[in-house]
Amino acid sequence: MTRGTTENISISSTPAGAEATISGLEVPAACITPCAIVAKRSADLTVSFAKEGFEPEIVQLTKEVPATGAAGFAGNILAGGLVGMGVDAVTGAAQDHKPNPVIVTLKPIRPLAPPAPARPRGKPAKRTPEAGT
């Protein structure tokens, strides 16, 4: 009850301009990096990054009770008693998502193989009798 039930989560990538798709929200969302979302502290979140020419990345966020969350949780004893502690436990208000900010460095997709070297010009290919010429 001393902290809100939502938090801002910053999302960025190198290079910028990747599409970040966030699952685990009540309504799935997407944004172009850098961006930020508001999520319930109790949500189980996954951020998927996609950008043409780069390998996709997925980041699973975890939930932790930080020192400020623990202090707020303990503060409920004074402000809201056991009821306040119960509300924070159920709503996830004592938790924060980690990592926050969510930052990834996208890896370029490697070309499959270099092109085969071209045949030197100027000399015609040898013809063999078996080829019928």
pLDDT tens sequence across 45-85: 999 999 999 999 999 999 988 765 444 445 544 444 444 44
pLDDT digits (tens, 9 = 90+) for 76-130: 444 444 444 444 444 446 789 999 999 999 999 987 666 667 666 666 666 666 6
Return the amino acid letter for 71.
A
